[in-house]
């Protein structure tokens, strides 16, 4: 599993140089890393925020290489999507890790890490990223919550999308709420014990599978029935603080072929 680094300092202050077997060097095709003997204002600002020298002569070879790569990777995002991205972290290349930039779109904010974008270098030496349209994610989240609140006839239930991946870049690509198995994610479903118990949750899960399959939406879901919690106050940042107050907890995975699995194992009645 990748080790995500929130600050650049750890990566930049690593004692060892990037090895020749990593993906940092120039490729025979695709992107060519630039070498510069100067720093621009963006690079200086980032270095200063990390407590590092803004004089290129005072940087170690690793630090110099990393700040240049970081700038090229975030410029790629800015140019590709025509908007400004904010630096969030950097992973240097190694035997187990790809060189990776972490950033988020400024206009949407970090949103507890949900908006984090990864930029890596593929086998052809080209930049690649996993930026999915946040508008598509927000639209899915609204559909999820319209469904769950209509099902329980209450606001004491919420679905929060924790991780989202999409091959759909624009809402204009979606017809009749059919996502064609091009959208998936990890959701956290929180329901108040005031409106749900062990029998009700099984019926809900069965209906949620049917509803998701009708829209060709696949997902992995953590379901918590919570006691003495204001559901309206829950966010992706704070919901895990209340897991200790959970009355019941389930896992529900819905796959692109229409099948499902649960934890603990439950035979849902899906008609």
**Is residue 162 classed as helix, strand or coil in its secondary structure?**
strand
Tokens of 225: 């029935």
Tokens of 32: 């060519």
Mind listing the pLDDT tens digit of every residue in the chain (271 residues)?
A: 333 333 344 444 333 323 333 344 444 467 888 888 899 999 999 999 999 999 999 999 999 999 999 999 999 999 999 999 999 999 988 877 889 999 999 999 998 888 999 999 888 889 999 888 899 999 999 999 999 999 999 999 999 999 898 999 889 999 999 999 999 999 999 999 999 999 999 999 999 999 999 999 999 999 999 999 999 999 998 999 999 989 999 999 999 999 999 999 999 988 7
- Residue 178 burial (CB count, 10 A): 12
Closest CA to 145 of 256, 206, 214, 232: 232
DSSP state for residue 66 in the 8-state scheme:
H
Write 80-89 long-range contacts (CB < 8 A, 24+).
Answer: 80/129, 81/105, 81/131, 83/107, 85/117, 86/110, 87/8, 87/46, 88/6, 88/116, 89/4, 89/5, 89/6, 89/7, 89/8
* 12 contacts: CB under 8 Å, gap ≥ 6: 50, 52, 60, 62, 63, 66, 67, 90, 92
Tokens of 60: 């170690």
Report domain extents, the chain.
8-129, 134-263
């Amino acid at each position: 599993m990748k080790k995500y680094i929130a600050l650049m300092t750890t990566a930049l202050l690593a004692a060892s140089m990037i090895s020749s077997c990593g993906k940092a060097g120039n490729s025979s095709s695709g992107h060519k890393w630039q070498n510069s003997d100067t720093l621009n204002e963006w690079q200086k600002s980032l270095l200063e925020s990390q407590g590092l020298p803004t004089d290129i002569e005072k940087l170690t070879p690793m630090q110099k290489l990393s700040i240049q790569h970081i700038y090229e990777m975030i410029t790629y995002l800015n140019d590709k999507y025509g908007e400004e991205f904010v630096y969030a972290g950097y992973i240097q290349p190694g035997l187990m890790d790809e060189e990776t930039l972490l950033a988020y779109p400024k206009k949407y904010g970090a949103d507890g890490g949900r908006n984090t974008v990864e930029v890596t270098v593929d086998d052809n030496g080209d930049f690649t990223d996993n930026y999915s349209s946040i508008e598509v994610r927000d639209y899915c989240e609204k559909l999820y919550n319209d469904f769950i609140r209509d099902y329980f006839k209450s606001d004491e239930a919420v679905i929060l999308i924790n991780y989202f991946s999409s091959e759909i870049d624009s809402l204009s690509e979606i017809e009749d709420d059919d996502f064609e198995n091009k959208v998936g994610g990890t959701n956290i479903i929180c329901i108040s014990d005031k409106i749900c118990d062990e029998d009700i949750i099984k019926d809900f899960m069965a209906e949620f599978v049917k509803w998701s399959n009708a829209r060709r939406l696949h997902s992995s879901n953590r379901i918590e029935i919570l006691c003495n919690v204001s559901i309206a106050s829950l966010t992706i940042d704070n919901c895990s603080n209340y897991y200790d107050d959970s009355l019941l907890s389930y896992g529900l995975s819905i796959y692109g072929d229409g099948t499902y699995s649960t934890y603990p194992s439950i035979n849902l009645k899906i008609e």
